[in-house]
Amino acid sequence: MDIETLKSIIIEGQELLTDISPTQRIMSLEPRARYVFVGIRQAGKSYMLYLRALKLIEEGHKLEEMLFINFDDERLIDFKASDFDSILKAYNSLYESKPILFLDEIQNVEGWEHFARRLANQKYMVYITGSNAKMLSKDIATILGARYIEQYVFPYSFREFLYANGIETDKDLMYGKKRGEIERQLHTYFQWGGFPELLLFVNKRRWLNELYEKIILGDIIQRNSIKNEQAMRLAVLRLAENIKNPTSFNRLAAMVKATGQSTNVASITDYISYCRDACLLFSLENYASKFVERNTVRKHYFIDNGLLNIFLTNSETALMENLCAITLYRQSTEDERYKVYFYNKEVEIDFYLPMLRKGIQACYSIKDPETLQREIRALTTFHRFYGLKEAEIVTYSEEQTIETSDLTINILPLAKWLLSFK
């Protein structure tokens, strides 16, 4: 690898830090730990590196200690594992300090984990990002040992979205002067999601379509050498159209084949696995299922409402459930008590958190009395099976408390419910 090119990249990375106006993310990092940040493209992983570097400079480290390498840089397109040492050689030819390394989208280089382990063994401070969940696989975790902390990075939470739009949040926010503005921001967040860069664009659908193409083509089809691109795309489309329903791989394969495309269950299983690896989708298991069925019949959700919305019309109910799923899944990566399932056996519960004994229904509106009674009946029936401590119905804008003979059900507006999380 050309040392002069690497020197230029290192200097450019340091210059970039002097131009950043930081917008804080809600994430607590251990001060001396090494991190592997993983998440979908454009979720803000690179920005997390910049924020960490600025924090270190604030604490007394020098700008020259910061060594940024972005492996999406076209100048590094032929970079191989054998070139990693060239990074340190290029830095040492510029400075005498021991660098703090920020290695962005490192999954582009096969074998990166061995270099990361060696850096840790040599006591370097290291921060790594990647857009593929395989970076957190058991094999790689074994190589890295306990030297790195794994951290998912999601698009903005609603609280972060409000902060990025200049709205400070507090416990009384939903009842204060900012309520109207919060409701307007919720409409945008609900429809178009929380990708940080999306805030800069008026034509949000076009930006999301372009991002989706980058993910599908670069992170899924090309990375996994998928030959039947049309079947892959149809599988994602059918999942979007069935976002609220448990879907088996057999059923999904049948839906794709019904369009005239040739595919099979094994291929469909691979496609969904690749989508999860690219952090486009995540899946919830049925708490009522046997162990084998938990892996084959799941609910599949999109990691951001905006990406789901580009597939849909009349999308309110689907977006409602998807956003609740994102919020709970995000929380579960930080706190194991929020490990979330759905429940489908004799009664349907959208989300069940067994460690908290909490059941949650997502319903866009309960103005229809039959809809309200259906949701209450599901929760009270489930309560007889599992003894719920908490029961909630999340709606877009309605709020009340319902007392049954043995269960209190809190009906919460979406904005208030979202702001109960980080």
- What is the chain's pLDDT, residue by residue, as a tens digit (422 residues)? 899 999 999 999 999 998 888 777 888 888 889 999 999 999 999 999 999 999 999 999 999 999 999 999 999 999 999 999 999 999 999 999 999 999 999 998 999 999 999 999 999 999 999 998 888 777 788 888 889 999 999 999 999 999 999 888 765 566 566 788 899 999 999 999 999 999 999 999 999 999 999 999 999 999 999 999 999 999 999 999 999 999 999 999 999 999 999 999 999 999 999 999 999 999 999 999 877 677 778 999 999 999 999 999 889 999 999 999 999 999 999 999 999 999 999 899 999 999 999 999 999 999 999 999 999 999 999 999 999 999 999 999 999 999 998 999 999 999 999 999 98
Phi, psi of 250 (to 5 degrees): -60, -45
Name the token pair of 101: 């390394």
Starting at the edge strand found earlier in the chain, the sheet holding 281-285 runs: 247-248, 297-302, 281-285
Q: Tell me the C-alpha distance between 360 and 409, whole Å.
A: 10
Beta bridge partners of 281: 302
Name the token pair of 376: 């209450």
Tell me which long-range contacts 348-351 makes (C-beta under 8 A, separation of at least 24). 348/378, 349/378, 349/379, 349/382, 350/321, 350/324, 351/284, 351/324, 351/325
In whole angstroms, how far apart are CA 82 and each of 79, 91, 246, 269? 8, 17, 45, 34
Closest CA to 23 of 1, 44, 2: 44
CA angle 103, 91, 70 (to 5 degrees): 25
pLDDT of residue 261: 94
E-state strands within 19-164: 35-38, 66-70, 100-104, 126-130, 149-152
Encoded amino acid at 69, one letter:
I
pLDDT of residue 377: 97
354-368 burial code (b ≥16 CB/10 A, e <16): eeeebbbbbbbebee
User: Which CATH architecture describes the domain 201-312?
Assistant: Orthogonal Bundle (1.10)
DSSP 254: H
Q: Tell me the C-alpha distance between 68 and 87, whole Å.
A: 10
pLDDT of residue 297: 87
Phi, psi of 163 (to 5 degrees): -60, -40
Q: Tell me the C-alpha distance between 166 and 60, whole Å.
A: 29
The yes/no answer on whether domain 3-153 falls in CATH 3.40.50.1820 is no
pLDDT of residue 176: 64
pTM above the 0.75 mark? yes
